[in-house]
Amino acid sequence: MFNISLKNSEFAIIKKLVFNEIGITLNDSKKDMVQTRLFKRLNYYQIKDFSHYLKIVQLSKFEKSQFLNQISTNETYFFRETAHFEFLEQLAKNSKSLRVWSAAASFGAEAYSISMVLDSNLFNWEVVGTDINTHVLDIARLGLYQVALLEKIPKKYQEKYCLVGRNQYEGKMLVDRKLQFQTNFLENNLMSKNNELGKFDVIFLRNVLIYFTEETKIKVIKNILHNLKKGGYLIVGMTDYFHHEEFNALEYVKDSIYKKV
Ligand SMILES: C[S@@+](CC[C@H](N)C(=O)[O-])C[C@H]1O[C@@H](n2cnc3c(N)ncnc32)[C@H](O)[C@@H]1O
């Protein structure tokens, strides 16, 4: 089974499919990684070549989703880029209610970090976390993480919102039920319009723009801005560069935070 290699022609089809579906550009250095990750799916179907597998992907909605799950990069952690959470805390202290979207939420660490800040400072709040990857969303909904991830969570939130497991849950940490109740995770593709999600006061779109071409970044941000209230904030990752001059509606605040004017 492990002698099967991904042909250049097959990799070209994969690159086109991934770009069309989720806007991610795979460069040639990713070929080995893609081959290794997709082996699992070939094993699952007990098939011996990638061309056969790609036919299944084209025919089955389920397999297309599994395929995209293997491709996406999901690195994340709690309270990543602390300046953004300090900004959110100040905003929450000065607001009556906030609705926040963690777009490209991955395993949910970002969405729950937002929830901890909001719940500590506000009565009325809601967080929506979305991603294209159904596997990471399942984990986010469970809210059960390796206890080592606690390290990045400020002590005041650890004590209030993180339940450290014992016995069969040794080594695990469970996010407080109340936070889970007010944090909803939904499947969503940033390449499409997101009308069904409604309007938000703050949108976190962090550490995902780096995977897109300039053209795709503009498309994604245009889609997202429809969901941002006037006066609301768009927060991108500290290393996510985009041409914000393209968007008249966006005014730079600080630390990769933009206001919709
Ligand atoms: C590196 S993680 C960033 C997670 C989190 N925002 C953070 O900063 O820690 C990028 C996430 O973007 C998701 N993603 C990539 N393309 C997407 C698309 N077109 N629509 C929705 N999510 C996408 C991936 O599945 C992945 O979970």
- Cα of 247 vs centre of ligand 1, distance in Å, is 22
- Are residues 164 and 117 both part of a single domain? yes
Nearest Cα residue to atom 9 of ligand 1: 76
Nearest Cα residue to atom 26 of ligand 1: 74
Does residue 124 lie within any of the structural domains? yes
22, 50, 71 - which closes a domain: 71
- Are residues 44 and 144 both part of a single domain? no
- Cα of 74 vs centre of ligand 1, distance in Å, is 6
Angle at 101 between CA 175 and CA 26, to 5 degrees: 95
**Which CATH number belongs to the domain containing residue 232 in this structure?**
3.40.50.150
- Are residues 17 and 118 both part of a single domain? no
- Are residues 52 and 181 both part of a single domain? no
Does residue 31 lie within any of the structural domains? yes
pTM value?
Answer: 0.95
- Are residues 142 and 183 both part of a single domain? yes
Q: Which residues are catalytic?
A: 37, 131
- β-sheet bridge partners, residue 235: 204, 257
Ligand 1 site residues (CB inside 6 A) read: 22-24, 72-76, 80, 104, 106, 110, 131-133, 136, 189-191, 206-208, 237
- Are residues 171 and 108 both part of a single domain? yes
For residue range 137-147, what is the model confidence (pLDDT) as tens digits? 999 999 999 99
pLDDT, residue 56, reads 97
Does residue 76 lie within any of the structural domains? no
- Cα of 181 vs centre of ligand 1, distance in Å, is 22
Average the pLDDT over 202-230 and give the result: 95
Q: How confident is the model at residue 246 (pLDDT cuts 50, 70, 90)?
A: confident
Pocket test for ligand 1, best of 208, 211, 224 (most atoms within 8 A of CB): 208
**Which CATH number belongs to the domain containing residue 14 in this structure?**
1.10.155.10
Structural domain that includes position 216: 82-260
The count of structural domains within the chain is 2
Question: Phi and psi at residue 73, in whole multiples of 5°?
Answer: -100, 125
**Which is the closest atom of ligand 1 to the Cα of 23?**
19
- Are residues 194 and 231 both part of a single domain? yes
Cα–Cα distance for residue pair 109/215, rounded to 1 Å: 28
Evaluate whether 11 touches 19 at the Cβ level (below 8 Å).
no
Average the pLDDT over 105-130 and give the result: 98
**Average pLDDT value for the chain:** 95
36-52 burial code (b ≥16 CB/10 A, e <16):
eebbebbeeeebeebee
Cα Rg of the chain (Å, integer): 20
Q: Is the pLDDT of residue 245 over 90?
A: no
Cα–Cα distance for residue pair 68/115, rounded to 1 Å: 27
Evaluate whether 15 touches 7 at the Cβ level (below 8 Å).
no
**Which is the closest atom of ligand 1 to the Cα of 68?**
25
Evaluate whether 22 touches 211 at the Cβ level (below 8 Å).
no
- Are residues 159 and 197 both part of a single domain? yes
Does residue 94 lie within any of the structural domains? yes
- Are residues 187 and 135 both part of a single domain? yes
